[in-house]
Amino acid sequence: MKTLVVYLMAMPETPELARAAVEAGADVIELGFPFSDPLADGPVIRRAGERSLAAGMRTGRCLEVLAQTRAVVDVPLIPMTYASIFDAYGWERLEADARAAGASSFIVPDLPADSHDGLRRVQLVAPTSTDARLQLAADSTDGWLYLVTVTGTTGARVELAPSLAPLAARARRATELPLYAGFGISTPEHARAAAELVDGVVVGSRAVEAAEEGPDELGRLVASLRAALDEVSVVA
């Protein structure tokens, strides 16, 4: 079965949204801890981060939301944030507190694979990654390798990036771990096409948009993505 990762920004209502997503078929929840200068995020997630910060969602409060989310779902929960948040809070302290609150791993998109190797995390690779950097990320990643389908920021796009196929082929030569693709995947059609090439997909901006409409709308989106993924046979 293909894996569906759904991104949600940390907010007071996130536990309820996460439960709706999981009930509709999400296998993993990626939980955004907001940052004032999110270099990898497009306009939708950037605005969500601004709303989160305006609602008082600093790191300590995000950890509370993480714990509350862990109390209502039993899927992997992966905080996604930036290295500056770790710098400010303390690397070992944030890792320990997040794991105590229920984190399964971490995603830190602005942290190179060869930095802070004591922090076990999901590594990202992009079409611009050299073979050497791709291998380094594959060798150190935690559980699965995150394939960034495009060069640039997150955000919905009209069609699946053609760069995914060659990137997936290179990644499969580097590792036997699952490959999940994200950035620009926003429709069931995108998800189905990506799943022909990889083991799962990450849906961010479109999930954040649906979450703004409430749990029911998010659940409908996730159910449509789940149905599309279930149409695709497992990659050999």
pLDDT tens string 194-219 = 999 999 999 999 999 999 999 999 99
Query: Taking a C-beta distance cutoff of 8 angstroms, is the pair 121, 106 a contact?
Result: yes
What are the pLDDT digits (tens) for 115-157?
Answer: 999 999 999 999 999 999 999 999 999 999 999 987 544 444 4
Confidence band (pLDDT; 50, 70, 90) for 40?
Answer: low
Closest CA relative to residue 119, chosen from 101, 106, 110, 109: 106
Is 209 an active-site residue? no
Is 30 an active-site residue? yes
Mean pLDDT of the chain, nearest integer: 92
**Residue 122 CB: number of other CB atoms within 10 A?**
24
**Which listed residue (13, 37, 41, 230) is catalytic?**
41
Cα end-to-end distance, the chain, whole Å: 12
C-alpha 176/C-alpha 145 separation (Å) is: 10
At the topology level of CATH, where does 3-230 sit? TIM Barrel (3.20.20)
What residue spans of the chain are helical by DSSP H?
A: 14-24, 43-54, 59-70, 83-89, 91-101, 131-140, 164-174, 188-195, 205-212, 215-230
Residue 169 has pLDDT above 80, yes or no: yes
**Which listed residue (13, 16, 23, 30) is catalytic?**
30
* Residue 236: predicted pLDDT: 38
Residue 3 Cα to chain centre, angstroms: 12
